Amino acid sequence: MAKGKAGKVRVSHILVDKHSKALEIISKIAEGSDFKAMAKQHSSCPSKKKGGDLGFFGKKQMVPEFERAAFALNVGQMTNDPVKTKHGYHVIKRTA
pLDDT exceeds cutoff 50 at 4:
no
Task: Give pLDDT, residue 2.
Answer: 43
C-alpha distances (whole Å) from 19 to each of 15, 41, 79, 90, 95 are 10, 17, 13, 9, 23
CATH number at 9-94 = 3.10.50.40
Digit-coded pLDDT (tens) for 27-49: 999 999 999 999 999 999 999 99
Looking at per-residue confidence, does 6 or 60 come out higher?
A: 60
Summarised one tens digit per residue, pLDDT across range 6-30 is 589 999 999 999 999 999 999 999 9
Amino acid residing at 88 = G
Closest to 93 measured CA to CA, from 6, 21, 26, 28: 26
Per-residue pLDDT, 5: 47
Closest CA to 15 of 60, 63, 52, 50: 52
- The domains of the chain are located at 9-94
Report the alpha-carbon distance of residue 59 to residue 44 in Å, rounded.
Answer: 24
